Structures are given as structure tokens and as C-alpha cells.
Structure 1
Amino acid sequence: MSVPGWPEVFRGTAAIEAGLVTRGQLRGPEYHRLLPDTYVRASETPPDLTVRSLAAYHWAGPDAVLCGYSAAEMHGASCAPPTAPAEVVVTVIRDGPRSRHGVVRVRRDLLHPGEITEVDGVRVTSRLRTAFDLARWLSPTEGVVAVDALARGEFTPDLLLHFAVRYPGRRGVRKVLDALSRADARSGSPPETRLRLILVQGGLPRPVPQHPVVDERREILWLDLAYPEHRLGVEYDGGDHFATPEAARADARRHTRLVAAGWRVLRYTSAEMRHSPSRIVAEVRKALELSRPDAGQGELSISPEP
């Protein structure tokens, strides 16, 4: 008798019935109970969103479909905050599973068959449906972050217009339309999307995501964000550039090659993005003004993205 999810994430009663584990073992140090009758292997680190989502999927019942941040995680488009609860959608209106604060959010909705797919045997909303849902559920900024992450290399964000037409009365559809005007599937990561939005919302022109720069060795260096006509790059500094001495040296060599190719690069951390967005906008604006061919001939204005 096979038990779905065994031995990583599984229903306890099913594992007991199959003879894979005893009740005493489930109460021991080897397993951790995440939800009623739903267990995971014990670990030194807290269960991540993937594990928590799988637990919610097995717990919620046979008609459950992972949605929202959980679906994005399963699609390999991580964009959720670390403490985001798992999300499932079910069609049962009464007597079905209920949300558990901070652990799992249960949504009740109807899904078109074409909006459901499988990832490793788990039913999840499709990339397009997941992007549509997150764009209407989240804040304007995080909605764009989610659309960028899900669309990257997979679909054109404009395809979400079909969902807006299919579900015109759904709450948050207007937020989806707004997200489409600002989304860009070329974005390399959620922090890069947030940095781009800081610049645009600050009145600066829309930068080009993942812009290639050919250096003196005819090799390509990719900039997170770029204003090619100004030879100005703007990048997210996640800290991994200095994780090891080798990484730090490689980062220094990359920066030197960009400078040799005639580029100036400004870099910002997540803390700066959270606490000093206006300073970031001011510094990039000044760099754009100074990099104009006629810089130094008086005050220059930078036209914002229409």
C-alpha cells in the first residue's frame, strides 16, 4: 500500500494503516506534526514553504489544489515572504477544511480544468492562473513581483488579459490590469523587480532588465537593470557577492570589466530598498543627469516612464 508523500510529508493514519510507522513513532523525535494527521520528517530547520504547502495539500482533501504563493513555489517561481502561509483552493463550500492562521490559507473558488496542472504529482494552479490570482490578491508592488517571477521565460504577461475577460467580476481584477502595465518577464529575480518599481514609481524612466554588456574580451556581462543610452547599470546586491573570498574576487573582476567597457554601476541592498527608496531614486537620477552627452550645461530633466 503506497502512501502519498511518504516519507517526507504524509497523513499519519495512512502511514499507520500501511504499516510504515506506529503511533508511538509519530509522537517521537523523528516526525513533526504540521497539521492534524499530517506529518513531516523532523529537521533542524523550520519547514520551508514547499514542505508546508505539501502538508496543506495532503491535509485539505482530495479536491484540494495548491494556489497562490504555494503554487508559485511549486512552479519554481519563489516570490513569497519567508513566513507566508501555505495556500490551497477547494470547491467544498461547507464542512470542508478551514484556514489556520499563519499556517494555511484555504480559499474557496471554482477553477477551469485548463487552470489546473500537476507538478511532481501535486495538483496546482497553472502559472497563468497563479499569476492572475496573486496579482489581484497582493499589494500592487508584490503583485507585479509575482507576475514577473511566474512569467519569466514562460509566458507574456499580457496573456493575463484573457483571465480578466473570463472573470470580470472577480475581486481585484483592476489590480491585475495595473500589474500588466508594469510587469516585465525579463526580470531576473523578485528583488530586481522591486528595485525597478522603486525607480519607475520615483518618476525615472523604465530601465531595461537583464541587459547584456559585451566587454573587451567579447564576453557578455548581464546587468540587473540598465539605462543603455547612459551606460548606467543599477543592480541588487544580495550579499552573496561576498559570501566567499572567491566570490568577492569574481565580483571585483566583473565590476572592473564593466567600468572598462564604459559603464557606471550603482548597487543597492534590500535594506536600502526598504528604508531609503527616495535616496535610491535621487542617486540614480543624478547619475542619469551626469551621464548625458550634454551633462554640465545646466540642469537636465529626466522624462519619466509614460
Structure 2
Amino acid sequence: MQTRPHELTDVFRGSEARREGLVTAGQLRGPAFRRLFQDVYVPSGIPVTHELRCRGAALIVPEEAVLTGRSAATVLGVPLAKTHDPVEFVVPEKFRFGPIKGVHVRRTEITRKESRPWKRVRIARPARVVLDLVLRLSPRTHNWIRRLRIAVPDVDAFLRTGLVKRRKLAYALLRRRNRGIRLARSALALADPRAESLPESELRVVLSTGGLAPTPQYKIRRKRKVVARLDLALPEHQVAIEYDGRWHLKAEQIKHDHARRKRLKAEGWRFVIVDAELLAGPYQKLLDLVRSVMNYS
């Protein structure tokens, strides 16, 4: 049999390629190809992205499956899924298949109007994607606050793109009775597209659920001109809460942050600087720190 592996330039099912004489079983096991899922391969020279893995997974799930959650968000241009995160689908209750390693399937009600054709399956429309970003979180493995800390940043990021409006989302949630719909409504109430990063959104959720009401991207003006902008602020207390990610560790950024904060401190502002370790720790510790700065005189 003459094989033509050079004709395989995208994701493909190994069994179909073998049947058509494009590749042998030995070649599939060799260095020329990389396996993404059982019976799904891609030429080794093609970079693996989450979007590529979504296209690969679409080859082996039922045609009625709907790509959604962080996977659909990533395909739609909101990069919430990491490369090797599970590919997320929902399917109507009556369909049973799997399990498939690397694919997460949730069986629930979904109407045809909530999705559109994509590849050989379907992809959720933006309002449904946002709903599934929240409903994907199991109450058995996440408590209420932890679920909000995961869900709200995703919703913030999606709203920030303008792919869907808050009003449309609120209407979509209005008459639903899905399990977890109360969490979805709470997440939408806390969502704010002004947030500029996922950690910043999560920090705002911690503060808000702790009884504080920070303003995101607070602008400090002089004579109507914006002279500074704070990640989060409690203006009545002149307290700024800012998240410093890894890029703040660069020498030039450290110098810039120091000068900016020194200038604002001279005007009466006090700062709480939050890093990844503090944000990931007990939320009460973070709240106590902010309150101690608020009460300092």
C-alpha cells in the first residue's frame, strides 16, 4: 500500500486516514505525528493550541455535541482555556458517550437556538457560553465563594469583548431553572467588564463578598485630566488595592510602580499590594489586611 502522510496537514482521525491509505499504523506511532485524543492525530510540525484540540475533539463526539465554556470562549477570541485544559462540551440528556480522556462532557438541556454550526458539531452562542462558564462549576467540589472567584473573572473577560451585552445575559437567565442558576445570577451581578485581568477580577470578588465595594479602574483626575488609574479603589478611604503579577517584577516596571505610588501616597492614598500568593491564600487574611489599612490613621 502506498502511503501519503504528506497529505495530512491538519487534525485527523487515525482510523479514517489508515482506511484511505494515507498513513500506516507504524507511521502514526512514529515521530511524524502527535496524538491528541484516542484515534485523533495531528502532524508534529503543527503547534498544538486549545483551539486545535477543540477541532480534534469535534471529530470524535456526537454531531449533536455543543462546544461551550472556556473552550468555546477561547475559539471565539476570549483566551480562557490553557492549551491542555479539557475540551468542554454539553450534549442533550439523551446522548450517552465517553468517557474520553481530555474531553469534559456535561449532559443538560440546550436548545438549537443557543448554538450554531461549527466544524462537524456546534458551538454555543455567546449568551449560552457565559451561562456554561458558571454552570460548569460543581457545588460538590467548590464552595459558593470559590465558585464566584472562578466564574466572575470569566464573565468579566467575556463581557469586556462586547460579544454579548449584560442586558441580554440578564434576560437569558431570567426564566431559567437550571441547577446552579442562582450562582449564575450572582456572578452576573458581580461582573464588571472594566477589570483588565482575571486576577484583578478575582480580587474584586474577594473584596465584594467580604462586604467591601471597590471601584475597578478608578481614575484620579486633576483639572479634568486623568493623572493616575488604580486597579481597585475605596475612594472614601483613599485606599488603593492593586494586583501585581509577574510582569511587575521587571526592573523597569518596579521603578515605574514605585514612582507612581510614591506620588499618590504624598496625596494621601494608601496602598494594599496583592500578589499571587496572597490572592490564593485564605480570603479572610486578605480582607483583614485591607481593613487594617482602611482603619489606619
Contact 1:34 1:40 in 2 (8 A): yes
Q: Does the aligned pair in 1 maintain the 2:237–2:294 contact within 8 Å?
A: yes
How far is the alpha carbon of 1:195 from its aligned partner?
0.7
User: For residue 230 of structure 1, what is the aligned residue in structure 2?
Assistant: 237
Q: 1:266 aligns with which of 263, 272, 279?
A: 272
Q: Does 1:193 align with 2:194?
A: no
> Are 1:10 and 2:12 matched, yes or no?
yes
Quickly say closer, same or farther: Cα 1:76–1:259, change in 2 above 3 A. Answer: farther
Match 1:26 to one of 13, 25, 28: 28
User: Where in structure 1 are there 5+ consecutive unaligned residues?
Assistant: 1-5, 291-295, 297-306
Does structure 1 conserve the Cα–Cα contact (< 8 Å) formed by 2:148 and 2:205? no
Name the SS for the 1:34 alignment partner.
strand
2: CA distance between counterparts of 1:133 and 1:24? 40
The alpha carbon displacement at 1:253 in A equals: 4.3
SS in 2 for 1:60: coil
Shift of 1:16: 5.2
Residues 160-184 of structure 1, C-alpha deviation per residue, up to 9 Å, x if partnerless? 232233433x221122122223222
- Residue identity in the other structure for 1:132: L
Q: Which residue of 1 aligns with 2:159?
A: 151
Find the counterpart in structure 2 of residue 303 from structure 1: none
Residues 221 and 140 of structure 1: CA distance in aligned 2, closer, same or farther (over 3 Å): same
- Aligned mates of 2:226, 2:50 — CA distance in 1: 37
The CA distance in 1 between the partners of 2:121 and 2:246, in whole Å, is 34
TM-score normalised by the chain length of structure 1 = 0.75
Tell me which amino acid in the other structure corresponds to 1:38.
Answer: V
Q: 1-side partners of 2:271 and 2:70: how far apart?
A: 32
Equivalent position of 1:93 in the other structure: 94
- Cα displacement string for residues 206-250 of structure 1 (whole angstroms, at most 9, x for unaligned residues): 11112233479x5654322112333322111211112x4344444
Relative distance call for 1:171 and 1:193 in structure 2 (3 A) is same
SS at 1:223's partner residue? strand
Distance 1:76 1:286 in 2: 40
Identical aligned residues as a percent? 34
CA separation of 1:38 and 1:196: change in aligned 2, threshold 3 A:
same
How much has 1:268 moved relative to structure 2?
A: 0.9
Write out aligned runs for 1:141-290 (5 A): 141-154=149-162, 155-168=164-177, 170-203=178-211, 205-214=212-221, 221-242=228-249, 244-256=250-262, 258-259=264-265, 262-290=268-296
2:59 aligned residue: 58
Q: SS of the residue aligned with 1:87?
A: strand
Tell me the TM-score normalised to structure 2 length: 0.77
For the 8 Å contact 1:90–1:109, the answer to whether it is kept is yes
Using the alignment, how far apart are the partners of 1:83 and 1:272 within structure 2?
Answer: 26
CA change 1:183–1:92 in 2 (3 A) is closer
Q: CA RMSD in A?
A: 3.5
Secondary structure of the 2:295 match is helix
Q: Is the 8 A contact 1:224 1:233 kept in 2?
A: yes
Measure the CA separation in 2 of the matches of 1:64 and 1:75. Answer: 17
Aligned pair in 2 of structure 1 residues 7, 230: CA closer, same or farther (>3 Å)? farther
Change (3 A) 1:131 1:212: same
Residues in 1 aligned to 2:42 and 2:36: alpha-carbon distance in whole angstroms: 7
Residue type at the aligned position of 1:161: A
